[in-house]
Chain A
């Protein structure tokens, strides 16, 4: 019995708030129509009435009023002109009105009207059923110097349930309180601000502490000044942490791309002793393959799932082709291989320039990868970067699995350790060579897919990564997966952490110097096998 009563009451309340009755509808429409009046004071009167009605459905009409998109129809009703679709719409329902009640009269707006309308808009927005609208309104009010703002904000805060909006409202109130005459109110506001870590307040805080026209700090109360200083320091350190975390993720995603490039290189160099200067171009080809797939699939949100295998196969094929035609003639001559593959890279870049043009192309992230994860105020971790890190983990695990647990991997390891022996027990070493080269190139191609999601793609894309991936291989020790991972991580992260402090160039130089010094102590890299050094 009690349950059904509660249900009924809740239902009634819910219904009444959600669906205003016909009486309210009429009043709403009348007030909106009043906005189209030719007399300014009539308009302001209607605006005030809309404020009293407190119905968020009036927002589009008020919005249109401010943009001068409100039209008074011949039937005496006010309509909204949608500039995007070039339609006339009903102010309340938003539906397109046909036929248009011509002639339409434009409603002009004066500053006086705006001064009245803006706070009403804010108030209505604060009461909108849409969370995003409320949030935006709260933020907007936080910046404004509106006298009525405190009342609105407090009222909205009482009604508000959503955590994010509450936070925005609290901050807005705090900003208003900063200019309050009461020092305690100011202190309270500063505490809120300090906790938030929001750097929007930095300039205001700085102003409070810096001298005004009379030479004294603008903030008269010493206690408040101290609190302001604490708040400012709190914000600065928060921002620093946020920046650091952002850089860390950036470094991780950079490390992921490096790892893609270096993994392939470590495998081919470890097995074949071949340094492939065209390896960077495999990255580039993978990125362009992604671009092509995206273009062909007309930007379908699933294009990535097609692009990944396509990029892998395309670059693996190119790698196998290179190995069969050119590189296998140059084994035992690693320096010449370096030169020959450099020539190949020149050719590849030129081909891409001819086919795709010399300008950069951009590959748009699919919608499920755009945006990011907001962890703290100001810290948004882009989904694309998180996905890249995840992707490289998956691929590295797959590579490890293939090398350590599959028949093919066994053959590869056998040939790496003792080619002659492996050949004599029947392992097709030449085929293994070609396949390994293909695998290494294919992994780099996957790196290109990742790169395409992180930034622009151009013909010289590979060039900027090749040196870094070489460094990773040198640092990590040749042919060692764990070494490559550790080195890529280290280089990527360190690079990105140094960058905000000293610039990208200094970062590269530091890394280079570090590697040279490191090699002094451990010439075999991070994870190499200790053994007899061959004469």
Chain B
């Protein structure tokens, strides 16, 4: 599966000012990093959702993020994608050295961070085809979209994605009428259409059949390499089938971080979470 070339976004209109930080390269930062989360802390009304979370993602990596409910996995994704402002800490994006925590979620999305939510969120009132069209990478400014027409290349791309997610026959169907699993796939398709460099996937296989789960695993594995993928999941089978490296969160802190085999044997992890 080929990804479209990454076109740098130039959106002059941000919700909040975008100071491109001219920070010195952080200690230990390697050019092959896709994402660098540093000492992230968030608390809601006294409840500490994340405490000093640090992790790094190599380019092209496929990382699984696991942990019990309430461990802070979704909050971590919220911080990276700009949905939640952390109280302290920073998130750096590869060599741009931009602190994502200062940007709006729009800007972050345009910079190439894509996210699939826990609950399938698609545009219910639009057709499957239109959903993909909307997600497609490109100029997302107001005046451009007023006169935009899909190019042949873009049409092909959408067809490819529809084929991949198995919704080619439902292209004109209204997204709100799809079954739950189909909506999941549509959302994955939208994520692909965005051609992000980093994909954050939150519980992709919830409600899927075994066959669909296989397909998802295959898809994610194929995406890694050209993209950096982070998957949050509870299903350990699934995690084992896709993950090289796993990060375990517990009560807002990073409990363990390493290859799957090592994590499985880590007594702390077993105590807290696995107990398979």
Contact = CB atoms under 8 A, between A and B. Distances in A.
Is A–B contact present in the complex under a CB 8 A cutoff?
A: yes
Contacts of B75: 532
A105 to B, nearest CB: 92
Given A535-B117, A535-B121, A530 B83 contact: no
B84 interface: yes
**Which residue, A529, A531, A532, A535, has most C-beta atoms of chain B within 10 A?**
A532
B44 A530 contact: yes
Contacts of A181: none
Contacts of B117: 535
A531 B44 contact: yes
A533 interface: yes
A533 B78 CA distance: 10
Contacts of A533: 83-84
Nearest to B49: A532
Contacts of B121: 535
B46 to A, nearest CB: 9
Contacts of B83: 533, 535
- Chain B binding surface SS class: loop
The size class of the interface chain A forms with chain B is under 10
A530 B45 CA distance: 6
Interface string A509-535: 000000000000000000001111101
Nearest to B47: A531
Interface residues of B, number: 8
13 contacts: A529-B45, A530-B44, A531-B44, A531-B45, A532-B44, A532-B75, A532-B78, A532-B84, A533-B83, A533-B84, A535-B83, A535-B117, A535-B121
Contacts of A532: 44, 75, 78, 84
Interface majority SS on A: helix, strand, loop or mixed? loop
A533 B81 CA distance: 14
Q: List the 3 closest A-B pairs by CB distance, nearest first.
A: A530-B45, A531-B44, A529-B45
A531 B45 CA distance: 7
A529 B121 CA distance: 26
Interface in A480-535: 529-533, 535
A477 to B, nearest CB: 14
A533 B79 CA distance: 12
Interface in B50-75: 75
A70 B75 CA distance: 95
Contacts of B84: 532-533
A133 B199 CA distance: 91
A535 B81 CA distance: 13
A529 B44 CA distance: 9
Most chain B beta carbons < 10 A, residue from A529, A531, A535: A535
Interface string B75-98: 100100001100000000000000
A532 B50 CA distance: 13
Nearest to B46: A530
A531 B84 CA distance: 10
Given A532-B78, A535-B121, 12 more contacts: A529-B45, A530-B44, A530-B45, A531-B44, A531-B45, A532-B44, A532-B75, A532-B84, A533-B83, A533-B84, A535-B83, A535-B117
A535 B187 CA distance: 15
Nearest to B43: A530
B116 to A, nearest CB: 12
Interface in B84-124: 84, 117, 121
A531 to B, nearest CB: 5
A535 B84 CA distance: 11
